[in-house]
Amino acid sequence: MMRTSVSQYMVKRPLYTEDDFTQEHEKVCRQHKTMLNHVQQYFTCNRQRAKNALLSVLPIISWMKIYRIKEWLMGDVVSGVSTGLVAVLQGLAYSLLASLPAWYGLYAAFFPVVIYFFLGTSRHISVGAFPVLSLMVGTVVTRLVPENGSQANITGFEGLSVDEQRAVVAASLTVLIGIFQLAMGLLQAGFIVIYLSDTLVSGFTTAAAVHILVSQLKFVLGLKVAGFSGPLSIIYTLEKIFGQITSTNLHDLVTSVIVMVVVLTVKELNERFKSKLPVPIPIEVIMTIIACGVSYAFSFNEYYGVDIVGRIPDQFEAPMAPNPQIFQETALEAFPMAIVGFAVAFAVAKVYSNKHDYVIDGNQELIAFGASNIIGGAFKSLVSSTALSRSAVQESTGGKTQVAGVLSAVIVLIVILGIGFLLEPLPKSVLGAVVMVNLKGMLLQVCHVPYLWKKDRPDCVVWLVTFVASVLLGLDLGLAVGLGAELIAVVYRTQFPRCCVLANIVGTDIYRDRKDYVDLYEPEGVKIFRIPSPIFFANIDFLRGKLIDAVGFSPLRVLRKRNKALRKIRKLLRKGQLSLTSKGLQTAGSLSGSEDESSVEDLDLPADFSGLPVQVNWRAELPASISVPPVNIHSLVLDFSAVSFIDVSALKGLKMALKEFIRVDVEVYIVACDPYIFEKLKSCEFFDEEIQTSIFFLTTHDAMLHILQRNPPLSVSEKVFKNTSELSNGVSLRSRDKTDKAPETRF
């Protein structure tokens, strides 16, 4: 019985095999749901479910009902105005990343925001352009429409300028991304973000920051460099830029450097005096306004050749139908973009939902972004997700719900329809400088690498592979490579597990690695092998190898040698060169005979003693010409406590391995096996005449007690076993025991 005496552990209970335990303790018969049940449940419809479905499709209903006007509205207004200003600036800047005229980025801060207001479940993210995604769009845009006009034969491109063609490509791509997202949302595929681990996202976004940095260099330096696409494009771009470095426009460079230094400094101050400032100083907006004024006053564009934003139309463009030919051309690239866009937005949304304690729904988010992008794309908006910096502004200035988002969209609307022309003299280099400054956080993720290297080597390799692949091969291929590396890392962790041989800590029921401790008890002839990981196709061979190393012999080889020896003995007996005496098998005259080569397969079967008057004792010495490798264990215990799953191919391998041991008369025990795995073994025909359920024991100690009972230690028999080599040259024998089913070790 369980006792609670002071710091004593005392247990007295029957010894259990799994079978005994099941007999003594009745298992409750549990009805597991079949797939049909699940399907039925999923499609059951009643009033409550219908209402829930409606609420989950239009989350605005639930949060509008609890909207506290007095407490929340003020915050939302302040936040909306601040976010709107930032959104205008970022919209212009991120259009440059996408190689588009600046105003398309403004659309991304309007249409998607309005749609998300109705469909989104996050109350704090600011929907709109996301730099990484804009850059990915830019890669596609420059691939399909290079500087000198489209090469691809796309219908509908006739008579359009390069910029117009690019706008069509970007808009169609946005619709396609939206379609992918909507489809994934409807298929309930929101769970895929799980596969984008922190490490992967960190490596990927750092690489994206490098790409963005390089793409903005040309604006900051005031150079005209055509975009490249495809693997290694970053190298080609850098080569081109440094080839032209002497043509740098000093006015652009100086303006950019001033903007960068000021913004960086003020941001640092914002951070340091966070607690004292009511709202962080919107330095980017201030600098932009100043730059606009200065550029206008001194006619930067005209006199100094500074590239400016230029015309911003004071009306929306007419909506367009997406181009199906572009869908075909960009499908492979749109899919990773759909995932990246959603994953980033979801990650940011999760941070705020955790902080403010409400629930967001991945699938509904997919639907919301899908709809936003489809409708946004139809109005030529750039693809939308969220930008970390903008969401931070929305939340930190007091935004409580997406009402703030809608208000920011109103600000953008005012800019588009009313005062957009004021932004026309803004130098592109200033926008580039603002984008670059905002990369600081992403680039600083590099500092995480040494920490990872020290703490978790595989994770670090995943980071590095993702980063290098994303930088060199481009973001879409890089993401795929990173994903592969990440999955391989998971497999790798379980592929070369640290196996060990356990031994008993004297006086306890505890078993530990025998290399780690000194006060251990290891009965002669018993090996306890711990399998410290799941067993599956990638490690079953490794584990078998380690097991053979641990016991010190290959059971298959022993079995074959024994079977060969048996054939020889049988032959010699027939020829009369060997005779059965009371002392055992005795050599009569000189031995001869070549190896029997026929039917190699038979050698792998259990030893067949038919035709022999006695069963050979392999542990004793055999006649001189017959040699069989020694087997110095009689019991093998496999500790399955850490085996969390086993797959079909591993199951076959395990079965073979166990059989090989059983066939050389080693008793195999499996302990601490998970009940579900035990069930699976049963259903997969793991058990047969040789491998029986009775080899399963509850704990290592149960198995050990059982073994010691069968093979009492330090008795005469063990001494005999120990001293076999010192015994006479005679062959030990035992008469065959017909009642004994499984070959059994006797001394």
Least distance from its own copies to the Cβ atom of residue 643, Å: 7
Cα–Cα distance between 411 and 110 in angstroms, integer? Answer: 9
Residue 302 or 597: the one with the smaller Cβ distance to its own copies is 597
| 3-class DSSP assignment, residue 412 | helix
Sorted by sequence, the CB contacts under 8 Å of residue 612 that are 6+ apart come out as: 566, 569, 570, 573
Least distance from its own copies to the Cβ atom of residue 513, Å: 7
Least distance from its own copies to the Cβ atom of residue 709, Å: 5
Taking CB atoms within 8 Å and a gap of at least 24, the contacts of 419-423 are: 420/103, 420/106, 420/312, 420/313, 420/314, 421/312, 421/314, 422/292, 423/88, 423/92, 423/102, 423/288, 423/292, 423/309, 423/312
Residue 265 or 715: the one with the smaller Cβ distance to its own copies is 715
Tokens of 577: 């060169």
116, with CB counted inside 10 A (0-12, 13-18, 19+), is buried
Tokens of 294: 């200065």
Contact 104, 167 (CB under 8 A): yes
Closest to 124 in 3D by CA, of 396, 323, 364: 396
Cα–Cα distance between 710 and 703 in angstroms, integer? Answer: 11
Residue 156 or 484: the one with the smaller Cβ distance to its own copies is 484
Residue 455 or 738: the one with the smaller Cβ distance to its own copies is 455
Contact 698, 17 (CB under 8 A): yes
The string of DSSP letters for 74-86 reads HHHHHHHHHHHHH
Least distance from its own copies to the Cβ atom of residue 424, Å: 41
Residue 679 or 744: the one with the smaller Cβ distance to its own copies is 679
Contact 295, 306 (CB under 8 A): yes
Tokens of 261: 């230094």
Residue 415 or 566: the one with the smaller Cβ distance to its own copies is 566
Residue 21 or 687: the one with the smaller Cβ distance to its own copies is 21
Contact 536, 653 (CB under 8 A): no
Closest to 697 in 3D by CA, of 29, 11, 22: 22
Residue 25 or 276: the one with the smaller Cβ distance to its own copies is 25
Least distance from its own copies to the Cβ atom of residue 52, Å: 20
CA distances from 455 to 371, 463, 488 (A): 42, 13, 18
Least distance from its own copies to the Cβ atom of residue 108, Å: 30
Contact 133, 158 (CB under 8 A): no
Least distance from its own copies to the Cβ atom of residue 329, Å: 14
Cα–Cα distance between 546 and 585 in angstroms, integer? Answer: 36
Least distance from its own copies to the Cβ atom of residue 389, Å: 19
Q: Which residues of 438-457 are buried (b: 16+ CB within 10 A; e: fewer)?
A: bbeebeebeebbeebeeeee
Least distance from its own copies to the Cβ atom of residue 701, Å: 7
Least distance from its own copies to the Cβ atom of residue 550, Å: 17
CA 263 to chain centre: 37
In which residue are the tokens 């949060």 written?
63
CA 629 to chain centre: 46
Residue 298 or 537: the one with the smaller Cβ distance to its own copies is 537
Cα–Cα distance between 371 and 377 in angstroms, integer? Answer: 10
Cα–Cα distance between 571 and 712 in angstroms, integer? Answer: 37
Residue 199 or 372: the one with the smaller Cβ distance to its own copies is 199
Sorted by sequence, the CB contacts under 8 Å of residue 286 that are 6+ apart come out as: none
Half-sphere exposure of 650 toward its Cβ, with a 13 Å CA cutoff? 21
Contact 702, 12 (CB under 8 A): no
Alpha helices by DSSP H, 154-225: 162-186, 198-221
Least distance from its own copies to the Cβ atom of residue 11, Å: 5
Tokens of 724: 């076999």
Residue 276 or 515: the one with the smaller Cβ distance to its own copies is 515
Residue 310 or 534: the one with the smaller Cβ distance to its own copies is 534
Least distance from its own copies to the Cβ atom of residue 231, Å: 10
Least distance from its own copies to the Cβ atom of residue 736, Å: 28
Least distance from its own copies to the Cβ atom of residue 206, Å: 16
Cα–Cα distance between 503 and 512 in angstroms, integer? Answer: 6
Residue 4 or 246: the one with the smaller Cβ distance to its own copies is 4
Cα–Cα distance between 395 and 407 in angstroms, integer? Answer: 14
Give φ, ψ of 383 to 5 degrees: -60, 145
Residue 8 or 246: the one with the smaller Cβ distance to its own copies is 8
Least distance from its own copies to the Cβ atom of residue 294, Å: 40
Contact 461, 484 (CB under 8 A): no
Contact 174, 381 (CB under 8 A): yes
Residue 164 or 674: the one with the smaller Cβ distance to its own copies is 674
Largest CA distance in the chain: 120
Q: Which H or E run contains 671?
A: strand 667-671
Least distance from its own copies to the Cβ atom of residue 179, Å: 20
Residue 177 or 643: the one with the smaller Cβ distance to its own copies is 643
Residue 283 or 646: the one with the smaller Cβ distance to its own copies is 646
**Radius of gyration from C-alpha coordinates of the chain:** 37
Residue 519 or 740: the one with the smaller Cβ distance to its own copies is 519
Sorted by sequence, the CB contacts under 8 Å of residue 598 that are 6+ apart come out as: none
Least distance from its own copies to the Cβ atom of residue 552, Å: 18
Least distance from its own copies to the Cβ atom of residue 394, Å: 15
